[in-house]
Amino acid sequence: MTRFRVAIQIVPRRGLLDPQGKAVSDALHSLGFETVGNVRVGRHLVLDTDASSADDARDAARRMCEQLLANPVTEDFHIATVEQA
């Protein structure tokens, strides 16, 4: 078993109203960043887990997202990186 560090991104599903993203977008516009379009605000998780391979760690992280970390009704998740810890 090897210890892996997995980074996970969870964001509100596209098409759903994301009021935090809208507020951030508006604030950026008022600062002069007019080029900014849609913004979505989500969560970034970094977790360490033991697994026999990077693929196994990724699979485990996916199951964690499906069962707890992301809400399947409203959120999308993305396993950003899997690195040896």
Partner 1 sequence: MKVGIVRFPGSNCDEDAYHAVVDHLGAEAVFCWHKEHDLQGADLVILPGGFSYGDYLRPGAIARFSPIMREVVAHAERGAPVLAICNGFQIACEAGLLPGALLRNANLRFVCEQVHLRVESIATRFTSRYHINEVITVPVAHGDGRYTADADTLARLEGEGRVVFRYVDARGHVTDAANPNASQRNIAGIVNAAGNVLGMMPHPERAVDTLLGSADGLPLLHSLADSLMGGVAA
Is the CB of residue 2 less than 8 Å from the CB of residue 71?
no
Write the burial class of residue 22 (CB in 10 Å: 0-12 exposed, 13-18 middle, 19+ buried): middle
- Rule CB under 8 A: is residue 31 a binding residue for partner 1? no
Cβ proximity to partner 1, 56 vs 75, nearer residue: 75
Does residue 37 bind partner 1 (CB under 8 A)?
no
Query: Given candidates 20, 52, 53, 81, which one binds partner 1 under the rule CB under 8 A?
Result: 20
Sole binder of partner 1 in the list 47, 69, 79, 85 (CB under 8 A): 69
The Cα–Cα gap between 28 and 20 comes to 12
Q: Which C-beta is closer to partner 1: that of 1 or that of 15? A: 15
**Both structure tokens of 19:** 């009021």
Does position 74 interact with partner 1 (CB under 8 A)? The reply is yes
Collapsing DSSP states into helix, strand and coil, what is residue 82? strand
- Report yes or no: 6 and 47 within 8 Å, Cβ to Cβ: yes
Which chain residues interact with partner 1 by CB under 8 A?
12, 16-17, 19-20, 23, 43, 68-69, 71, 73-74
